[in-house]
């Protein structure tokens, strides 16, 4: 992560001035038939009405009838509590799954993910056996699938997360209540038996809200085996007690089978020892994962090669066996995804991690975009005194969540992501995701997360602490700018590019941790990673990571590395990387001036620090803005080129902060001693959001258009907007307190 633009991105410290902003406090959506903006029609009448979602020969999603499926997705926890209990600092609005589903569908959503915990709750059910499913979680999943299905919204379920697995001492498992669950599912027979029992109860018993089991419900599109766990991540080092000893036995047997004996293995390893080796007792130990991230040679390197191969193949076999269990034994028609996590090193280990997912149908990753956030509750809340930075993809795109190597012939999905508060520039997110997702072919991007029927206003992170939540998307910055972004993505208005990199990798290269030609940037999770920022890798790869912005980057495993191909990037990455153009010619990112443009026949727009450039001339759209920063997107609503369209949506997003939010410039000292420029939260504010007023003039080269109507946040007509006509175009000033205008 880089912070060279931290001061450039800074807003002036102090109180948010009300006269420069409008209060975001929309009425509940009544879903009026008079609405001019309602994307519910993009969904099927009922999700799954054409059969199960499948993967075509190119590795992309298709519906049961073969029609290409593009998923605009979110994570939701609405109505998770079986009995709703109001909390002091949360809005007193009961959950309503039917309203929630209709609200999402109207704004372009056609997939939700349910991050659930179906393992037994040892506090709520202390006498339940380990094989008992958490019935409250199952009921929430069942209810949500049924509600979403009625609005044409598919579901992804992620039923298990080791972080929330607690062990009951009455179960008699060695290690008892102190046992940690990370890594166990990959090899521990007790955990695997319990997991299969939970999944059987979830998927094969009849959902009372639909009348059929989930296994036979095509509205359930994807089953994610588990959330955020890997043998190739640092949590593997926490394995202890009888479970670690059991895993060591499996490794010892694997090594002895490979070399013929442990003595032969030690010879091959030039006598390299790991702390804890017990050769006399016939049991060898693992090296710490950190060693795999370092440049080791000789016998040490050969031993690490074997350890990495064993760990990766253990994961691979688990994913293969569980996929077969779901499909063959339980009769599930869904696609299966292994998990969504990361390895301990994006250069040396990430390809091995991703290779282990390939027995399943879909590849996934969780990848957020955030700045530094320092504070006692930074993993989940913002309070006064916290310090933070506000980066922007427009100025430094290396941490763009879509910068991913996609495994050829597999769909690639990002199951959790967001522009994470308290950073400022979240409005760029939906525009950039929709534009570059279309270019690179990433198949779904799931925004994280909402617990509200409709919008999320500023509120306590947990209902009690005086704070502001941070893992949210139902804000004017993000959810408010869904419609145009979702419309152009789902309608296929932006051309998909040919791959700019196709890397082929031999498995031996993975086990030996050889450097790939291109690698993703490291990610950072305040709840799982040490330090304050993602550590930069010192290993250099052959292809600049800016290639991710120019087109699709693919990888193929278990093939001849000599087949690797890289496009000529000299005409796509210019001015020492300051200007990046897509292989299709429809995208341009200029980090020197801080803007990104999209120029396709049916969708055109710009995300920009307008203070650096006030006017943009696209093929059919002219944009002038007096705002410091914002996003303008103009999209045809009738699948016609903008120059001929009879109905066009113009959408403007700026910035928002809670009312009374105050911040001041501050120097931030990171855990490693580095100092960066950022801000201190003086007052985290209160509801409602206050949105920077738009100062935007739009010219559209389409003489057939006759009227413009400003809409409210529910897509209903509000006021007429004056149009100035010329021989071949119309021009209008965008209303300062609106986000949508429909021109007809």
Q: What is the pLDDT of residues 99-125, one digit of tens each?
A: 999 999 999 999 999 999 999 999 999
- The C-alpha atoms of residue 683 and residue 97 are separated, in whole angstroms, by 33
Q: What percent of the chain has pLDDT over 90?
A: 92
pLDDT in tens, 416-462: 999 999 999 999 999 999 999 999 999 999 999 999 999 999 999 99
* Average pLDDT for 39-46: 98
Q: What is the predicted pLDDT for the residue at 540? A: 64
Q: Is 197 helix (H, G, I), strand (E, B) or coil?
A: helix
* Per-residue pLDDT at 538 exceeds 70: no
Strand segments (E) across 362-411: 363-366, 373-374, 381-382, 387-388, 406-407
Whether residue 339 has pLDDT greater than 80: yes
User: Which CATH number applies to 50-233+314-499?
Assistant: 3.20.20.80
Whole-number pLDDT of residue 10? 38
Beta strands (DSSP E) in 181-293 are 220-224
Q: What pLDDT sits at residue 289? A: 98
Cα 26 from Cα 107, distance rounded (Å): 15
Give pLDDT, residue 379: 96
Residue 9 binned pLDDT confidence (cut-offs 50, 70, 90): very low
pLDDT at 17: 58
Instruction: Fill in the DSSP letter of residue 342.
Output: -
Domain ranges of the chain: 50-233+314-499, 244-305
* Closest of 592, 569, 573 to residue 581, by C-alpha: 573
3 CB-contact burial (10 Å; exposed 0-12 / middle 13-18 / buried 19+): buried
**Polymer length in residues for the chain:** 744
Q: Is the model more confident about 295 or about 91?
A: 295
Report pLDDT digits (tens) over 551-608. Answer: 999 999 999 999 999 999 999 999 999 999 999 999 999 999 999 999 999 999 999 9
Give the lowest-confidence range in 43-57, 76-90, 129-143, 239-253.
Answer: 76-90
Residue 533 reports pLDDT greater than 80: no
137: CB partners within 8 A, 6+ apart: 80, 116, 117, 118, 159
Cβ contact 698:623 at 8 Å: yes
Question: Which pLDDT tens digit goes with each residue over 400-419?
Answer: 999 999 999 999 999 999 99
Rounded CA gap, 393 and 732, in Å? 29
* CB neighbour list of residue 376: distance below 8 Å, 6 or more residues apart: 383
CB 616 within 8 A of CB 622: yes
Residue identified by tokens 């993505």 is 489
pLDDT mean across residues, the chain:
95
Per-residue pLDDT band for 177 (boundaries 50, 70, 90) equals: confident
Read out DSSP for 380-391?
A: TEE-TT-EE---
Q: What are the tens digits of pLDDT across the range 470-527?
A: 999 999 999 999 999 999 999 999 999 999 999 999 999 999 999 999 999 988 777 7
CA dihedral of residues 13, 19, 20, 21 (deg, nearest 10)? 100
Provide the token pair at 280: 């006399």
Contacts of 378 (CB under 8 A, 6+ apart): 386, 526
| Residue 11 clears pLDDT 60, i.e. is over it | no
Does residue 380 contact residue 462 with C-beta atoms inside 8 Å? yes
């Amino acid at each position: 992560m880089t912070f060279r633009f931290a001061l450039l991105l800074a807003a002036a410290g102090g109180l948010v001035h009300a006269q420069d902003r409008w209060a975001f406090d929309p009425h509940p959506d009544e879903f009026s038939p008079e609405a001019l903006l309602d994307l519910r029609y993009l969904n099927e009448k009922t999700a799954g009405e054409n059969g199960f979602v499948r993967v075509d020969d190119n590795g992309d999603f298709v519906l049961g009838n073969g029609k290409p499926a593009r998923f605009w997705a979110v994570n939701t926890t609405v109505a998770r509590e079986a009995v709703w209990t109001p909390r002091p600092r949360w809005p007193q609005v009961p959950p309503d799954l039917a309203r929630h589903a209709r609200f999402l569908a109207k704004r372009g959503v056609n997939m939700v993910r349910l991050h659930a915990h179906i393992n037994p709750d040892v506090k709520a059910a202390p006498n339940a056996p380990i094989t008992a499913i958490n019935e409250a979680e199952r009921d929430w999943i069942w209810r949500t699938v049924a509600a979403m299905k009625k609005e044409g919204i598919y579901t992804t379920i992620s039923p298990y997360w080791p972080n929330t697995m607690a062990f009951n001492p009455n179960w008699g498992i060695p290690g008892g209540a102190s046992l940690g669950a990370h890594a166990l599912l990959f090899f521990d027979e007790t955990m695997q038996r319990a997991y299969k029992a939970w999944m059987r109860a979830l998927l094969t018993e009849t959902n009372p809200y639909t009348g059929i089991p989930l296994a036979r419900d095509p509205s359930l599109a994807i089953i994610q085996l588990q959330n955020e766990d890997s043998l190739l991540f640092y949590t593997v080092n926490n394995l202890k007690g009888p479970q670690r000893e059991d895993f060591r036995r499996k490794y010892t047997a694997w090594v002895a089978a490979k070399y013929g004996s442990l003595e032969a293995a030690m010879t091959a390893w030039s006598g390299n020892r790991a702390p804890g080796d017990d050769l006399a007792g016939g049991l060898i130990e693992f090296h710490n994962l950190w060693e795999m991230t370092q440049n080791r040679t000789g016998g040490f390197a050969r031993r690490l090669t074997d350890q990495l191969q064993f760990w990766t193949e253990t994961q691979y076999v688990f994913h293969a066996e569980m996929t077969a269990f779901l499909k063959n034994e339980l009769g599930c028609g869904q696609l299966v995804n292994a998990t969504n996590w990361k390895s301990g090193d994006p250069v040396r280990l990430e390809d091995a991690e991703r290779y282990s997912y390939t027995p399943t149908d879909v590849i996934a990753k969780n990848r957020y975009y955030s700045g530094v956030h320092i504070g006692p509750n930074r993993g989940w809340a913002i309070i006064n005194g916290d310090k933070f930075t506000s980066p922007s993809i427009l100025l430094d795109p290396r941490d763009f969540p879509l910068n991913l190597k996609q495994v050829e012939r597999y769909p690639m999905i990002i199951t959790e992501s967001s522009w994470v508060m308290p950073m400022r520039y979240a409005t760029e997110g939906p525009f950039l995701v929709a534009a570059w997702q279309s270019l690179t072919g990433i198949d779904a991007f799931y925004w994280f997360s909402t617990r509200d029927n409709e919008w999320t206003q500023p509120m306590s992170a947990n209902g009690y602490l005086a704070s502001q939540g941070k893992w949210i998307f139902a804000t004017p910055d993000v959810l408010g700018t869904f419609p145009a972004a979702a419309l152009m993505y789902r309608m296929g208005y932006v051309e998909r590019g040919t791959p700019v990199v196709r890397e082929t990798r031999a498995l031996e290269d993975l086990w030996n941790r050889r450097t790939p030609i291109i690698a993703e940037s490291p990610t950072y999770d305040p709840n799982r990673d040490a330090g304050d920022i993602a550590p930069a890798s010192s290993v250099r790869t052959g292809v600049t990571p800016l290639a991710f912005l120019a087109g699709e980057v693919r990888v193929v495993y278990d093939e001849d590395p000599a087949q690797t191909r890289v496009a000529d990037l000299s005409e796509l990455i210019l001015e020492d990387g300051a200007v990046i153009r897509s292989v299709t010619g429809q995208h341009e990112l200029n980090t020197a001036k801080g803007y990104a443009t999209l120029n396709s026949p049916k969708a055109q727009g710009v995300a920009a620090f307008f203070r650096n450039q006030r006017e943009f001339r696209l093929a059919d759209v002219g944009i002038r803005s007096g705002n410091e920063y914002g996003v303008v997107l103009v999209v045809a609503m009738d699948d016609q080129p903008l120059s001929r369209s009879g109905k066009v949506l113009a959408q403007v997003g700026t910035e928002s902060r809670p009312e009374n939010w105050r911040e001041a410039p501050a120097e931030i000292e990171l855990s490693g001693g580095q100092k960066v420029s950022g801000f201190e939260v003086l007052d985290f504010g209160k509801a409602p959001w206050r949105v920077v007023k738009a100062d935007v003039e739009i010219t559209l080269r389409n003489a057939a258009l006759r009227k413009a109507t400003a809409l409210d946040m529910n897509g209903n007509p509000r006021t007429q907007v004056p149009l100035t006509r010329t021989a071949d175009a119309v021009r209008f000033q965008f209303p300062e307190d609106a986000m949508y205008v429909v021109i007809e």
